[in-house]
Structure 1
Amino acid sequence: MKIDLTTIIKSSLTSHPKLKENFKSALNKIHKVKEKPSIQIGFEGIVSEIKKDILIEDLTQIIEAQTFERAKYYVNRLIKGITEVKQSKINDLNLNRWKEYDDLITDSLWIFNKRDKSGAHNAGYWGNFIPQIPNQLLKRFTKKGDWVLDPFAGSGTTLIECKKLGRNALGIDLSDKAINLCNENLGKEKKSFDVSVETLTADSSEVDLKKFLIKYQIKYFQFIIMHPPYWDIIKFTSEKKDLSNAATTEEFLKMFGKVLDNIFPFLEKKRHLAVVIGDKYSNGEWVPLGFLIMEEVLRRNFKLKSIIVKNFEDTTAKRNQKELWRYRALVGGFYIFKHEYIFLFQKR
C-alpha cells in the first residue's frame, strides 16, 4: 500500500488546528496494512519505503505533541527522513533514518544466544568467532566497496561477511589448512556483490601488503579486524611464528606487536581497527590477555573508541562439561569465563 503524506503534511503545517485529525487519518490507514513490515510513502514526487512500526511511532509522536511548535518539529524531522540522506564518511547508514537500524547494537554489552549459521557459516573450525561480530562491525565502520583486512583469517568468518555485505577483503593466515578451509567456505557463499575477496597463506608479521595494494590499485585498507589466538589455549599449528606457540606472555605480545607494526601503515587515517580477544586462566592465575593486547595497540598511533564485552555460553572445550567446570571454579576460587572482548580503535 502506498500512502501519500504530501497533502497531509502540507495541510497540517498550514492549518495546525487540523494537524491531529490529519495525522490520525494517516495513522488509521497505516494500521490497516496487514502483515507488511514496511510501507511505501510518497512526498513531492519521492517514493520512499519506511518500516511500518517506525512510521507509526513517528506519527503517534506528532499527534501526542503538547504544542504546535513541537509537532511541527516532529513533522519536519519526518520530512527530512523521507527526502534527505545524511551519511558519514565511514558507513552507508542514512542517519536521518537512524531508527530503522534496530539490528545494530550501540551498547557495549553484546549478548547472542546462538551463532548465525546462515549461508556458508559453520562452527567447524575450533576457535572461530561468531559471524555476528564482523557483521555488526562492518555495517558500522565500512561502506560497500571498502577494503577490509583480516590478518588471522582462520576459516573465513569475516571474509564470508564481507562477501555477503559487498566489501572487498584480504584474509591472511599462517596455516595452509585454515586457508584451504577458508576458500572452501567462501566457495559455498553466494556472491551478491561485485567484490574481490582474496586469501593468502603467509605470516602477517612479514607479508608484503604493498604488493597486494599495488595489484588492486588501492592505497589503504579501510578497516582491519583481528582475531588472534588467545595465546596457547588452542594450538593452531606447529609453526614457530604461530602466536599460539609463544613460550611466554611477553613473547606472545611481542609477536602480536610485530603483526601490528607490519599492517598498521596500510590502514587509512581515521579508520578503525577491531581486536577480538579473550583472557586466559593458568596456574591458578587470571591472565588478562585482552587488556595486555589493548595496551599493545595503544602504544601505536591509535586511540581507544570502545571496549565491548561479548558473551559466550558454550565452547568446544567446555561443551557437556558445565558441572565439571562449576566444580573446578568452586574448588579453585575463580569464575568461569563467559565473555570475550572486542576492542575498537581509531587510527589517529
Structure 2
Amino acid sequence: MARRVQCHYRALPQPAQPFGRASCILTAVAWLAPTGGTSRRESPRASPSLHRGHPTVPRSIRPAGPSSGRASTAVNDINMSRWRDHAEIVTDSLWIIDRRDNSGAHTGAYWGNFVPQIPRQMMLRYTRVGEWVLDPFVGSGTTLIECRRLGRNGLGVEIDPRVAAGAAASVAAEAATQGAKTAVVTGDSRRADFGALLSGCGATSAQLAILHPPYHDIIRFSEQPGDLSAAGTTDEFLSAFGEVVDRVTPVLDSGRYCVVVIGDKYARGEWVPLGFHCLGEMLKRGYLLKSIVVKNFDETRAKRSHRALWRYRALANGFYVFKHEYVLIFRKR
C-alpha cells in the first residue's frame, strides 16, 4: 500500500520571489498524496476523440503496465510485442480534437489552459509509471491531473499565487493512481532551482518536461514580475522562455523528452511565428527535434463572440484566422 504523505498548502499574499537554492519551496506548495478517497472524477466513459481514422477508444482502456523483455521501450510502458493493444496512443502528426476532456477535476474555466488530451498522450508515449513529469507553466493544473490519473509523479510551478492555489485544489480533487505524487509550487520558473524542488519531492531528476507557456501577450495572465505574457516584445518573450528552458534542461535526463505546446500570434499586420521561434530556442540549446504535431485550435473566449468580425478582418487584411497550434517534441541529447 502506498505511504500517505501529509497534505498541506500555504499561499502567501505577496508575489513569488525568485527561487534560491536554499529555499526549494518558497511561497506555496501542495503535496498531493495518493488516497483512496472520493474525487470528482467521473466513471469511465468515451474520451473526446482525436479524428485519426479509427473509432474512439474509451478512457476505460488503460495503458498496459510495465512490460518485461526486449519488446518494451526504455521511455514508456508500451509493449511492442502487443503494439496493437495500445490503440489510444496517437502516432499521426495532425490532431483534430473534437472537444476537451472535462471529466473529473478538469475544467475549461481557466483562460488559456490546454486540452488534457495533450499531456495524456505525451505521458503515455514518453514516460513509464512512477516517473517524474515537470511542468514549469502549470496554470490550472491540467498536466498534474493527468499525472495522477496515469500513475506519474508531477511537479508544477505557477507564477501567480492565486492560480497556483486553484491548481492545487483541482489537482487534489483527482484521485491518485499507482502511488502518484504531485506538487504545485508558486514561483518564477526563470529563477527556479528545479533540482532542489525535485529533491524536496524525493526525486533526483525528471523524465519528461511539458512546457505550455503563454502565447506571448495574446492573454495577459497576471501582473507578476516575470510573467511571460507581460513581456514587452517578442525578443523579450523568447529570452524569458529560453531562461525557463535553461532551468529545466539540467534536471531532465539525457535521452528523455521535452514537449513545448505553443501557438502563433498576429500583431500590427504581421503573423508572428512564435512556434517556430520557440523551436529555434530549443535547437540552440542542443535539443533534437523529434516531431511537430499540428493540433486544431478552438476559438478563444474573446474570438468566440466576435467570429464574424474576425472573418471580416481576415478578408480585408489578407490573413487567415488561427485554427491551429503546435506540439513540438524534442529529445535531450
The 1-side partners of 2:227 and 2:198 are apart by 25
**Residues 335-346 of structure 1 correspond to what in structure 2 (within 5 A)?**
335-346=320-331
TM-score computed with the length of structure 1 as normaliser: 0.74
Larger mean CA deviation between 219-228 and 183-192 belongs to 183-192
Change (3 A) 1:211 1:311: same
Match of 2:114 in 1: 129
The 2-side partners of 1:271 and 1:211 are apart by 20
Give 1:249's match in structure 2, choosing from 217, 226, 234: 234
Query: Which amino acid letter does the alignment assign opposite residue 329 of structure 1?
Result: A
> Is contact 2:195–2:205 with CA below 8 Å preserved after alignment?
no
The 1-side partners of 2:248 and 2:299 are apart by 32
State the secondary structure of the residue aligned to 2:165.
helix
Match of 1:326 in 2: 311
Give structure 2 stretches of 5+ with no counterpart: 1-67
Larger mean CA deviation between 109-118 and 204-213 belongs to 204-213
Change (3 A) 1:303 1:184: same
Give 1:219's match in structure 2, choosing from 204, 210, 216: 204
The 2-side partners of 1:214 and 1:296 are apart by 27
TM-score computed with the length of structure 2 as normaliser: 0.78
> Is contact 1:113–1:313 with CA below 8 Å preserved after alignment?
no
Asked if residue 312 in structure 1 is aligned to residue 297 in structure 2, the reply is yes
Higher relative contact order (CA 8 A, sep 6+): 2
**Residues 160-179 of structure 1 correspond to what in structure 2 (within 5 A)?**
160-179=145-164
**Moved beyond 4 Å, runs of 4+:** none
Larger radius of gyration: 1
- 1:209-256: CA deviation from partner (whole Å, max 9, x where unpaired): 222233234321000000000000111111231111111111111111
Give 2:246's match in structure 1, choosing from 238, 251, 261: 261
Higher helix proportion: 1
Aligned length: 266
State the secondary structure of the residue aligned to 1:96.
helix
State the secondary structure of the residue aligned to 1:318.
helix
The 2-side partners of 1:243 and 1:129 are apart by 17
The 2-side partners of 1:320 and 1:207 are apart by 38
Larger mean CA deviation between 318-327 and 241-250 belongs to 318-327
Tell me how large the CA RMSD over aligned residues is.
1.3
Match of 1:86 in 2: 71
**Residues 135-146 of structure 1 correspond to what in structure 2 (within 5 A)?**
135-146=120-131
Give the drift of 1:305. Answer: 0.3
**Residues 1-348 of structure 1 correspond to what in structure 2 (within 5 A)?**
86-348=71-333
Query: Which amino acid letter does the alignment assign opposite residue 212 of structure 1?
Result: L
The 1-side partners of 2:147 and 2:246 are apart by 24
Give structure 1 stretches of 5+ with no counterpart: 1-82
